Structure 1
Amino acid sequence: MDWTCAIEGDRILCTLTPDRDLRGAVLCFSGMAPMRVDAGGTRVGGLGGFTEVALPDLSAGAPHKLLIAYSDGFRPANRAWLPMGPYLRTDAGPIALPVGDLGCRPVVLPDVGEIDGLPVVPQPSTWRARGGTCTPDAGSGADAALSAVAALAARRGLVWLPEGQGVHLEHADLAPDAYELEITPGRITLRAGDYGGRLYGGITLLHLLQAGPLGCGTLSDAPRFGWRGQHLDTARHFYAPQTILDLLDLMALLKLNRFHWHFADDEAFRLQIDCYPELWQKTEMRGEGHLLPALFSAEIEAGGSYSKADVAAILTHARALNIEVLPEIEVPAHAVALTRVMPQLRDPADNGAEVSVQGYRGDAVNPALPETWEVLEAIVQEVGALFPFGHLHLGCDELPEGTWMGSPRARALMEEEGLDGTDDLQGWMMQRLAATVVANGQRPCAWEEAAKGSNGGIGNGAILFSWTGQGPGIEAAKQGYDVVMCPAQHVYLDMAQSDDPDDWGARWAGFVPLSETVNWDPIPDSSTAERIIGVQGTFWSEFTSRDAQLWPMLLPRIEGVAAMAWQQTQIPQADFLRLVAANRWLLTAFDVPLAT
C-alpha cells in the first residue's frame, strides 16, 4: 500500500494507491480535531478527531485521491496535523498504511558565541571567580544527595568527580533548596541546610564539570519559587515507565522539583486502581476492536497502564532527586473514558448538545447523581493514598459551555442549591470534591477554571494552575488562591516552535520558540506576589505517538522553564540563547538529534 498526504491551503490532500483490489473498505485515521471529507469518500463515523471514511471500490495500482479538512475553523499548522495512524478496515482485517516520518526535525542550536559567566542552567544567584582551577581532595565521604547526583551522572553518561575526589559538606542555616559552593585549588566545600540544597549544589557542580577544568570561586544560590514543575500527559500517549524515569532525570538536572502526572483524560485512565479496575482495563488500550478507537495513535491499537509497582518505582526515583509527584484524575469534563466505562455517571435524560473543544459529546460526569459521588470519592481516596506528596489535582478545565443544562437531575440540584448556570454548578461540585480531598489529609489542586462560580469556586485552600495566560492566575491570586503560573504562550512545550510547515506541534496558543520561554515575568502584578508560588512547564501528547518524540519538543525549551522557575532575576534572551548553546551536552544526554 502507498499512502501520502500533503497540506494544500486549508485542506489536506491524501493519495492512496492500493496493492490489491479493495471492495467496501473504510479508511480510519486520527486527527487533532474533528474532520470532514470534501471529496473521495463519505464520512461514516468517528469520535472527536478519529474519522472513518467509506471509500469507493478501488483497483490495485490505481491512485485514489481523498480531500479532507478540519471542521470548525481549525487549520493544519504543520505536518503534525496530517492524518495519524491511517489504516483500512476490510473484511479480511485491518491493514496499516505507512505513516512516514514522525516527530521533530533535528534541533538547531543558535550560534551566538561564548557565554559571559558560568555554563549552568538555571543560572546561580551569585558567582565570584577567584582564578585558577581545582583538583579536589577526597571530601567528607558518602552522602545520599551527592550519591544521587553521581548515579544520575552515570545514567546519563556525564562527567563526575573521579574516585579519590569528593566534596566537603557543611551544614548551614539556609532556605530550603539553597546552597553555597566554595571551590579552591584543592577543595570543594558545599554548604546547605537540607537534602535539596545538597542535591542542587551537586547538580551545579555536575554542570560545571561538563565544561572542562573546574574553575575556582564562590557561588551562592537559592530558588525563586518553591514549586518548579513539569507536567506530562500520559493519557493521550502511554509513555513507558522508563521514559518517566528519564524525564525525572532531566527535571533534576534543571532543578525542577514537581512532576505533574496527568494519567487520566477523555482518551484513557491509565492508573491500575483497585476500586474500579474496569476503568483502566477497558481504556488502557485504544484502537480497532476496543472501547475507544485509535485516537491520537500511529498504530491500529496502542496503549498501556501503570501498575502500583510502576508508581512505587517512579516515586522512589523521584524522591532521590528531590521531586514530588502530583497525580491528576481530571473531572468533571475530559471524562469520555470515564463515562464510556460508567454510563451511570451521566443523566440518561440529558438532552444537551454541548460539544467539547476536542469534538466529544458527553464528556462530563453529572454532579447531581449519587453514583458520581460514589465513584469519584473512591478514586480520590485510592489515588491520593498512593502518592505521599499530600496534593491531588482534580482537573477542572475546558468544561463545554452549557454542560448539564439539558439534565433534569442537574436542573433540580441547581434549584435546590440556588445555583445559576454551568459555572455555578461546576463551582459547587469542585468545592464539594475538594472538601473530600481535604478530609483525606491532602491539599486539592486544579486548573484555573476551578475558580469559577458564584460560591467563589473550589476553595478549600486549593492551588490553581493558570494556563490560558497569566490573567486568570492574577485574578485567582486576588481571590486568595495560591497560583502556579503555566501560561501556554510561554511554557506549553507541545506548541510548535515556528510557523514552518515542516515543524511539529500545536499552535492554538501561538508558536513558542526557545526565546519565548524566558520572555515573560511570572509575577506581572506585584500585589499578587505572595500568592504566585511557582512556575510549571506543560506537555500535552496529542501529537506524540512515540516516546522518542518527547525529547526534542522538551529540549532545549524546558531549560527556559527551569530558568524562570529558579532564577531570582530574569535572564536576557541573548544571554539565555548563548547559555543553551554552550550546554549542548544536556541535549546529547537525552539523545536529542542536533542539526549539523
Structure 2
Amino acid sequence: MKKIPLIPYPKQWVFHEEPLVVGVLRLRGDPCFLGVLRALQEEIRVAFGEAVLAPLSREEEIAYGQRQGPDAVSLFGGNFQASQVPVVPLEIRKAGTSLSEGYRLEISPEKIVITVSGSVEQSPSEVNREKELAAAACATVIQLLHFGWDGWRFKIPCGVITDGPSLEWRGLMIDTARHFVPPSELKKILSLAWLYKINRFHWHLTDDQGWRLELVQFPELTEIGSQRNGGDPMRNGLYTQEDIREIVAYAADRGITVIPEIDLPGHAQALLASHPEFSCTGGPFTVRTEWGIAEDVLCMGNPDVLPFVKQIWDEVCELFPGPYVHIGGDECPTDRWEACPRCRSKKESLGLEHWVDLHGYFIREITDYLTQKGKTVFGWDEVLDSTLPNGCNVVHWRAWLDEQSKRALAQGRELVISPSFPYYFDFVQTQNRRQSPGIGYRSPAAASLQYVYEFDPFRLLMPSNQEAGDASPAPMTLRKSPGFDTEGAVALAAGRFRGIQANVWTEFIRDPRRLEYMMFPRLLAIAETGWNGAGRSPYGDFVERLTVGHTGNGRGILSQRAVNYCPRYEGSPEGS
C-alpha cells in the first residue's frame, strides 16, 4: 500500500487491505471526551461539509452524556439522507490501563475505535493527558479523512495505529504584544496546531510595545497599554476576558493547554505607561514604539511593586485554569536599578552581591507565590543568571549559551528547549528576500525547514565534548550511548526534560497572513520532532509527506485550509 503522508507519522501502523468506506460519522465516547468530540465534529464540518443528522438514540445520549444536539457530521456537501451513504460509528474509549504508547486507533470495515491509555483512578494531570491523547488520535482521523477523499465518500485504510508522543511538551509561542493577532486568527492557528499534535500554546500577552490582557482590577493596563502610536495596522488591540475564556476553551477541546506569559520585571514599558510610579524614575512613559530592549523596568526598591504584580497574577490564574504559567524574566537590564537609591537600599537589605540578584529576587518571589497557588512556573533561561536560588522552571532560548539546558536540569528544574536558532520563526526560512522578507539572513537561511527538522534538541543535554549525532537518546527508551550524559538520562526518566517549542516574535510580522507564512510549514517540523523524537524519519521522507499531503498541488491540507505557507524549502546551514 502506498504510504499515507501523515504528519507526524505514527510509531506503529499495521495495514489491512480492505478499506473503510465513510459517508457519515456518528460520534460517541466517554463523557470526559465530550469536548474532543465536539471539536472533531466542528473541524469535520469546516473541512468537509455540512451536517447530516445521524443522531444517537436517547439511551445512547444518556449513556454517553451527549445532549448537545446532532452528533453526526457529513463528509461532503449536499442534502443526502443517512440511508444513502455509509454511516460509520467513531467511539473514544478509556483503556482502563496504561497502553505501551498512548492511544490505539483501530479501523475496521464497520467502525473506528480510539482507545486512550489511562487507569481508573487518575490525578488531574493524568486526566488532561487522556484528553490530549484523544485529541491527538482525532487529529490522525482528520488527516486520514483528508487523504481518503474518493469523489463523494472517503476510503480509509483499515488497520491498527499504536502511537504516542516522545516528548510531552510540543509547544508554540506567539507574541501578540508587538502586533495584535485577532482571536479568529488565533483559533485558526490552534486548529492547525491540533491537526499536527501541537499541545502547548504559550501566549505572550505583554511587552514594552503592548499590554493585551484585559484585567477587571486594573482596566487602565489595556485602556492605555493596548494602544501605541504609529502606522502599523495591527499595533492596537486587546483580548477581553470573554475572548480569553473562549480561546482557552477552544484550545482545551483540541488537547492544547494555554500558558499565559506576563513578561516582567523587564519588557514593562506598556505597564509603566499607565503606572509610572512602579518605575525607578517616575516617568512619564508611553507605550514603546521602537523594538529592542527598553532600559526602564519595574523598580525593585518600591514596596508596592510585588503586591501589584501578585494581584495581576491572581486574576490571570482565574482566567487560565491550566497547570502552567510563564513569568517572562528575559532581557532585564540593571542600569536603572544601579542608579536608583531605593533599589540600592533593597539590594543592601537583602545582602545581595550582584545587581542581577535583584532580578533573581523578583523571580523567586513571584515563582513562590504562583507555586503556592498550584501552578507550575516557567520563565526564560535568564532565571538561571542570578546566584539567588529560585524554583522557576526554564524555557531555554539563548542558543549561544548551550550550557543553560544542562544547568537547569542539574538544578532540578523542568526544561523546555527552544533555541533562537533554529526555533525562532521570526527568522527567515529562505534567502529569497522577495518571498521571505524578515530577519536573520544567512546563507543558507537562519531557520530553514531542513535546519528546523534536523536540529537535535538532545545535543543540548550532552556533555560539552560529545557530539550529538547517533548518540542522541531516544526519548522514553533512554538508550545509552558512548559519552551519553547520565544527568540527561536521569532527567528524561524523571520527566524534567519536558519537550520543545517554536517561538514566533512579531516585531516584523504585521498581519495574519505574514504570521502564517513564517509559521508554516516549519511548525510541522517541530511537530514531527516533538512527537517522534530521535526516532523520526530522514528529512527527505518528511519533505515527501509534506509535499504530497500538506502543501503540494493546491490539494494539501494547508492549501485546502487557505494557509499562507512558505512554498520554498532550503537546505540546512553547514555544521548545524
**Is this contact kept in 2: 1:356–1:363, CA < 8 A?**
no
Partner of 2:509: 544
Q: Give 1:270's aligned amino acid.
A: R
Q: Paired residue for 1:519, among 454, 460, 465?
A: 454
**Is this contact kept in 2: 1:176–1:197, CA < 8 A?**
no
The 3 A distance-change label for structure 1 pair 359 and 345 is same
**Is this contact kept in 1: 2:20–2:156, CA < 8 A?**
yes
Q: Paired residue for 2:20, among 134, 150, 157?
A: 134
Partner of 1:166: 89
Q: Give 1:166's aligned amino acid.
A: P
Q: Do residues 592 (structure 1) and 563 (structure 2) align?
A: yes
Partner of 1:23: none
What SS is found at the alignment partner of 2:304?
helix
**Is this contact kept in 1: 2:370–2:377, CA < 8 A?**
yes
Unaligned runs of 5+ in 1: 1-114, 288-293
The 3 A distance-change label for structure 1 pair 414 and 508 is farther
Deviation string, structure 1 residues 503-544 (Cα, Å, up to 9, x no partner): 222218961111112112232224324221111111111112
**Is this contact kept in 1: 2:297–2:336, CA < 8 A?**
yes
State the number of aligned residues: 466
Q: Paired residue for 1:484, among 404, 407, 416?
A: 416
The 3 A distance-change label for structure 1 pair 589 and 284 is farther
Aligned pairs for 1:307-318 within 5 A: 307-318=240-251
**Is this contact kept in 2: 1:465–1:485, CA < 8 A?**
yes
Q: CA deviation at 1:167?
A: 2.1
Q: Paired residue for 1:579, among 545, 552, 558?
A: 545
Deviation string, structure 1 residues 88-144 (Cα, Å, up to 9, x no partner): xxxxxxxxxxxxxxxxxxxxxxxxxxx973311111111122223222698875232
**Is this contact kept in 1: 2:8–2:528, CA < 8 A?**
yes
What SS is found at the alignment partner of 1:341?
coil
Q: Paired residue for 2:397, among 441, 463, 467?
A: 467
Q: Give 2:540's aligned amino acid.
A: A
Deviation string, structure 1 residues 342-372 (Cα, Å, up to 9, x no partner): 111122399xxxx999455433111111121
Q: CA deviation at 1:150?
A: 2.6
Q: Which moved more, 1:497-506 or 1:387-396?
A: 497-506
Q: Which structure features the higher share of helix residues? A: 2
The 3 A distance-change label for structure 1 pair 430 and 593 is closer
TM-score by length of 1: 0.73
**Is this contact kept in 2: 1:136–1:188, CA < 8 A?**
no
**Is this contact kept in 1: 2:171–2:201, CA < 8 A?**
yes
**Is this contact kept in 2: 1:405–1:421, CA < 8 A?**
no
Partner of 2:78: none
Q: What's the C-alpha RMSD, in Å, of the aligned pairs?
A: 2.8
**Is this contact kept in 2: 1:490–1:518, CA < 8 A?**
no
Q: Which structure features the higher share of strand residues? A: 1
Q: Do residues 336 (structure 1) and 272 (structure 2) align?
A: no
CA distance in 2, matches of 1:371, 1:177: 50
Partner of 1:367: 300
Partner of 2:70: none
Q: Paired residue for 2:135, among 189, 192, 199?
A: 199
Q: CA deviation at 1:589?
A: 3.9
**Is this contact kept in 1: 2:173–2:504, CA < 8 A?**
yes
Q: Paired residue for 2:232, among 288, 294, 298?
A: 298
Q: CA deviation at 1:256?
A: 1.2
Q: Do residues 179 (structure 1) and 109 (structure 2) align?
A: no
CA distance in 1, matches of 2:100, 2:381: 27
CA distance in 2, matches of 1:318, 1:176: 27
Deviation string, structure 1 residues 273-330 (Cα, Å, up to 9, x no partner): 022211110121212xxxxxx2xx534x841111111111112211211111111110
Aligned pairs for 1:111-260 within 5 A: 117-135=3-21, 141-143=27-29, 144=34, 145-157=36-48, 162=75, 164-172=87-95, 173-174=97-98, 178-193=102-117, 194-212=130-148, 213-260=155-202
Q: Give 1:549's aligned amino acid.
A: R
**Is this contact kept in 2: 1:485–1:536, CA < 8 A?**
yes
CA distance in 2, matches of 1:499, 1:117: 32
What SS is found at the alignment partner of 2:137?
helix
CA distance in 2, matches of 1:589, 1:452: 46
Q: Paired residue for 2:522, among 534, 545, 557?
A: 557
Q: Which moved more, 1:138-147 or 1:426-435?
A: 138-147
**Is this contact kept in 2: 1:402–1:421, CA < 8 A?**
no
Q: Give 2:424's aligned amino acid.
A: Y
Partner of 1:29: none
Q: Paired residue for 2:318, among 355, 372, 385?
A: 385
The 3 A distance-change label for structure 1 pair 191 and 405 is same
Partner of 2:53: none
TM-score by length of 2: 0.75
Q: CA deviation at 1:440?
A: 2.6
What SS is found at the alignment partner of 2:252?
helix
The 3 A distance-change label for structure 1 pair 274 and 175 is farther
The 3 A distance-change label for structure 1 pair 473 and 403 is farther
CA distance in 1, matches of 2:262, 2:100: 29
Q: Give 1:512's aligned amino acid.
A: A
CA distance in 2, matches of 1:178, 1:415: 53
CA distance in 2, matches of 1:423, 1:177: 44
The 3 A distance-change label for structure 1 pair 252 and 378 is same
Partner of 1:493: 425
Q: Over alpha carbons, which structure has the higher Rg?
A: 1
**Is this contact kept in 1: 2:93–2:116, CA < 8 A?**
yes
Q: CA deviation at 1:446?
A: 0.6
The 3 A distance-change label for structure 1 pair 359 and 207 is closer
Q: CA deviation at 1:400?
A: 2.5
Q: Give 1:150's aligned amino acid.
A: Q
Identity %: 27
Q: Do residues 427 (structure 1) and 360 (structure 2) align?
A: yes
What SS is found at the alignment partner of 2:88?
coil
Q: Give 1:430's aligned amino acid.
A: I
Q: Give 2:114's aligned amino acid.
A: L
The 3 A distance-change label for structure 1 pair 148 and 572 is same
Deviation string, structure 1 residues 199-251 (Cα, Å, up to 9, x no partner): 22221121112122312222100111222211111101111111111121111
The 3 A distance-change label for structure 1 pair 356 and 239 is closer
**Is this contact kept in 2: 1:132–1:185, CA < 8 A?**
yes
**Is this contact kept in 2: 1:135–1:187, CA < 8 A?**
no
What SS is found at the alignment partner of 2:172?
strand
Deviation string, structure 1 residues 14-52 (Cα, Å, up to 9, x no partner): xxxxxxxxxxxxxxxxxxxxxxxxxxxxxxxxxxxxxxx
